[in-house]
Structure 1
Amino acid sequence: MHSSRTLVAAVALSAITVFAGAGSAVAAPAIGSVDFGSSTGSETGSSSGSGFGSVDFGSGGPDVEHPVSTCFWSVPINPERADPQLNYAFPDTAAIYWAAQFTIPEDAELVVRGQYAHARYQSLNSYNAATAMPTAVLNDISTAPDAGSHNTYLPGADRSNDGARSYTASVRNEASPAEPKPNTLYAGVPGQDRISLLYRIYLPDNGRDLTGGVGLPEPELRLSDGRVLRGEDLCSAVGADNGILKPASLPLDTYKALRDQPGKPSTFPSEQTPVWRAYYSAEFTLGCTYLGKCDGTPQRVGGQYSNIDNSYVTAEVNRGFGEVLVLRGELPRTPETTTGAKNLDSAVDMRFWSMCSNESLATTKVATCLFDEQVATDAAGRYTIVASLPEDRPANATKECGVSWLSLSPAGDGAGHLDDSLLIMRNMLPANDFGHAAHDTRTPGDEKAVMGQYLPDGQYTSKLAFEGSGCAK
């Protein structure tokens, strides 16, 4: 007979095989070299947000509402600002995602015309549809403006104007050459004729719609005979599929076999002191988290339709150690943009930071997130984040007390363990001279040595005990 260890290893191998070859499109109903950025709510007990500050991104207001889906672009994906059912691939609630899938006819060129959004960040990522791994990115600062326009993401640029902010980019079904052309996304994947894209916007300015006040990029198909197709004609010519991109989650039985291993405590795979691990790939995460195979030199290839400009660290947490998890660390400096800042501050450590509470690899759903502008800090830039279920939120987990609150997943891992949650911390586009971002980790286990005070320390406690500590401010 096989030992339980052998059985679990076989299950893990099966799970890795599933993840290594599983991205898919799911139809959704249509509805109306800079120093940083180089690529290499309300104060309540709501369970759906941390939320304090003046942030109300994408809430409309004086801004003109633009169409948020077309025959080319999917419906917007954001579980808080759009359809809550479209909650896949661990989305960040500060971001809005649109998917596009198409085939470029031979001898034709696909061009995208757009405007720089009134937002913190925007990009186009291409993907390997079989693995949900990113293959290339064309982000805001690497996209040159049209003649007479200005790239509003560059340091010193006026990001408040409503005109003269256009760009034109090309999407090619080719691998990147030795000398890539400017404003070109090389989206080719060997053996795949169709291209899979995600267009992202992070944090539209307050008062702007989901598109950041500029609408969705408009594709054009330039044919060899000189004709230019747009709209429905283009969608027909490229066989556009505007369904969302959905990666495979672990089969439930496989996930439970990994989670419920014989001899493991009910809190497995969490530990008394939360352990943060850099995300390299789904394969490495599974092996390290559930089988203890955390050595070697894994490649950082991403997965789950991740963003090339982001790097991630994750921690499994469990309320069995205490109903309240207290996270303390230093917040990297990021630009403040949501209230419509005139310029994008370049004297920062990175473009964007967030902490998200999620279910598990069984569902890949997010519960809620805190992003940088929502996090209270002291004069030294340090934060205290309290993570708990809504009913366990301490009375002093408030901005007034210098404490930010993050809801743990009310559904647990989404697979029957109500005490489990998965935390994901995102770092985006760190400054070249920062050196303490998740991007800078190189070897499993070096996270604390590399990230230092920017990797939070975690300690479990009770609601009453935390309330007994009083108010920090």
Structure 2
Amino acid sequence: MPGTKESKTQGTSGRLPGDTEEAAPDLFPGDTTAVTPLSKAVVEVTNRRYQQDPFWGGPKGIEYGKLVGALPIQLANLYPDQGTTYFVGEFHLPKGSYLTIHGEYGHQRYFSYTVAAQLGNGQLGNGDFLRDDQIDPDSGSHNPFRTKPHNDRDVTPRKFTLWVRQGQKPKVDCPKNTLYTGFKSESARVHLAIRNYIPDAGYDGTGNAELQQVHAYGLPEVRLHLPDIKKPLGGKAMAKAVRASKAREVSGFSRDGWLWLVRNSVDPINAPAAREPAFQRFWNTSYSMTGAFIPDPALRERLFPATGAGGFANNPDTIYLMAAFSLDFGEVVVMQGKMPSHQRTRHRQKKWIRDTQVRYWSVTAGTAPPDGIGWGSLFDEEVPLDGQGNFTIVMSWPENRPANATKENGVAWLDFGGGEGHFTGARAWVNFVYFRYMAPNPDWPESPANIPLPTVEQPVPQDAETMQQYYPRATYMTKAAFEALGSNPTGS
């Protein structure tokens, strides 16, 4: 099978893709190259292996939700990035119990475990999380996400153990590899998510099992430990004891509420999209979504204060920039900015690049909050850059894609998609775009993590001022106007 360890062949340079930071797509023919976040084979094999796991909901994501026979929980609301495979555990912990999770570090760009915070009214926000490089390995094993001491992405053995416990996370002396639910109630639902981003070529969506390994199973083993019972429960017995659910996740924003905001806005045709679009950091649902309909930043902050609570089951390890767009303002949206330095892993590179500005970067076109799904994504390795590291992304409907919006011309194209979503009253010409900056380096001065929280004293967003050249700027154009730029539309 192309892209597996057994079938790697040397190219004309005499080197394998893992020997360099640069991808070599010719060595991975078909749909397993870096220009494809997840191949059809990855999606189909991953779904077949894990859809019926008794505890974890089936693999979740844009492509998984489209499969015939997809479970309700596999619909990609709340998880719109196209290059990822999510697994969600929805369950209740009996009083005094805890979980152990025995897994392996995957061959992938990033993974993390998150217990979402319950914000009320179905909203899920910033909770307790552990990123791959923060997880200590089992005795005798190694963590391949740490550059020290090995910086070897293929190091073995690679096992780890996590604990999920009830209650608040201790402020001091927190046990290693432990996640806390934030409550002790048996009636409260626990939302535990695994995020798997960009498996290495030839691996399934977990990054643990290769596609050709027929009997491989890459999901971690979950065990329930009950008080006064020595032997922990696993499998179906454990799933039953914790009342694991595979029901569809709620979006966290009502359709009627959204339509009311649109009808009562200053521009019901386009709001919250503006003729001069501006990306802003996502802070919390009321400020970033409801407040987006209020043009006056001071009034917006007074009515819907910005907080760091998050929402929509966001990843606490990711900074999101978001903006609404309307094709009523133009056939084509052009987005430009400087891409942060990032890792390259899709072609089984052997080592991590040291001190990148982010672990992962992507841009997604998606629906309005009542649906919360994505239409399509571009991730860092598949976006062409000019000599200064700048990107140009053109977004439109397929029929309005400019002829010169091609990678050969240094342009990435993103499908605008189906607009606000699949609900009655949704506008087909309005969508949302999300930029993801995952695990930003704390030493990066222009990081979106440094954008200050809007306040009553300083309500005007400071996103562009903070990010400088890394801030994505967007403009509307006609198809003809972009095509008139010729074969060098980026101006580089």
Per the TM superposition, whether the score is higher than 0.5 is yes
What is residue 112 of structure 2 aligned with on the other side? 123
Task: State the alpha-carbon separation in 2 of the partners of residues 443 and 54 from structure 1.
Answer: 35
**The residue matched to 2:114 in structure 1 has which SS?**
strand
- 2:344 is matched with which residue: 336, 347, 366? 336
Q: Give yes or no for the alignment of 1:348 onto 2:356.
A: yes
What is residue 239 of structure 2 aligned with on the other side? 235
Aligned-residue offset at 1:117: 1.0
Report which structure shows greater RCO (CA 8 Å, sep ≥6): 1
Aligned-residue offset at 1:471: 1.4
Q: Verify the 8 A CA contact 2:104 2:208 in the aligned structure 1.
A: no
What is residue 205 of structure 1 aligned with on the other side? 200
**The residue matched to 2:183 in structure 1 has which SS?**
coil
Q: Verify the 8 A CA contact 1:88 1:365 in the aligned structure 2.
A: yes
Q: Give yes or no for the alignment of 1:250 onto 2:260.
A: no
Task: State the alpha-carbon separation in 1 of the partners of residues 133 and 276 from structure 2.
Answer: 39
Amino acid across the alignment from 1:446: Q
What is residue 142 of structure 1 aligned with on the other side? 134
Aligned-residue offset at 1:173: 0.9
Q: Verify the 8 A CA contact 1:143 1:167 in the aligned structure 2.
A: yes
Q: Give yes or no for the alignment of 1:114 onto 2:103.
A: yes
Q: Verify the 8 A CA contact 1:98 1:244 in the aligned structure 2.
A: no
Aligned 1:38-437 pairs, distance under 5 A: 53=35, 55-56=37-38, 59-60=41-42, 66-83=49-66, 86-129=75-118, 130=120, 131-155=123-147, 156-161=150-155, 163-177=156-170, 178-189=172-183, 191=185, 193-214=188-209, 215-223=218-226, 224-251=228-255, 253-261=256-264, 264=267, 266-292=269-295, 293-295=299-301, 298-412=306-420, 414=422, 415-437=425-447
Structure 1 pair 270–411 and aligned structure 2 pair: CA distance change class (3 A) = closer
Runs of 4+ in structure 1 over 6 Å off: none
Structure 1 pair 66–344 and aligned structure 2 pair: CA distance change class (3 A) = farther
**The residue matched to 1:439 in structure 2 has which SS?**
helix
Amino acid across the alignment from 1:152: P
What is residue 452 of structure 1 aligned with on the other side? 468
Q: Verify the 8 A CA contact 1:413 1:420 in the aligned structure 2.
A: no
Task: State the alpha-carbon separation in 2 of the partners of residues 54 and 452 from structure 1.
Answer: 30
Task: State the alpha-carbon separation in 1 of the partners of residues 369 and 190 from structure 2.
Answer: 25
Question: For 1:324-349, what per-residue CA distance to the aligned partner results, in whole angstroms no more than 9, with x for missing partners?
Answer: 11111000011011111112222310
Report the more deviating stretch, 240-249 or 180-189: 240-249
Which consecutive residues of structure 1, in runs of 5 or more, have no partner in the other structure?
1-41, 43-48
Task: State the alpha-carbon separation in 2 of the partners of residues 66 and 432 from structure 1.
Answer: 38
Q: TM-score, normalised by structure 2?
A: 0.80
Q: Verify the 8 A CA contact 1:311 1:428 in the aligned structure 2.
A: yes
Task: State the alpha-carbon separation in 1 of the partners of residues 404 and 34 from structure 2.
Answer: 14
Task: State the alpha-carbon separation in 1 of the partners of residues 221 and 265 from structure 2.
Answer: 54
**The residue matched to 2:392 in structure 1 has which SS?**
strand
What is the aligned residue count? 422
**The residue matched to 2:63 in structure 1 has which SS?**
coil
Report the more deviating stretch, 99-108 or 353-362: 99-108
Aligned-residue offset at 1:320: 1.5
Q: Verify the 8 A CA contact 1:247 1:305 in the aligned structure 2.
A: no
Structure 1 pair 386–168 and aligned structure 2 pair: CA distance change class (3 A) = same
**The residue matched to 1:356 in structure 2 has which SS?**
strand
Aligned-residue offset at 1:406: 0.7
RMSD of aligned alpha carbons = 2.5
Task: State the alpha-carbon separation in 1 of the partners of residues 435 and 144 from structure 2.
Answer: 27
Q: Identity across aligned pairs (percent)? A: 29
Aligned 1:10-21 pairs, distance under 5 A: none
Q: TM-score, normalised by structure 1?
A: 0.83
Report the more deviating stretch, 80-89 or 444-453: 80-89
Task: State the alpha-carbon separation in 1 of the partners of residues 266 and 231 from structure 2.
Answer: 67
Structure 1 pair 67–441 and aligned structure 2 pair: CA distance change class (3 A) = same
Task: State the alpha-carbon separation in 1 of the partners of residues 429 and 437 from structure 2.
Answer: 26
Q: Verify the 8 A CA contact 1:58 1:210 in the aligned structure 2.
A: no
Task: State the alpha-carbon separation in 2 of the partners of residues 154 and 432 from structure 1.
Answer: 16
Which consecutive residues of structure 2, in runs of 5 or more, have no partner in the other structure?
1-24, 26-30, 210-217, 455-460
Structure 1 pair 263–127 and aligned structure 2 pair: CA distance change class (3 A) = closer
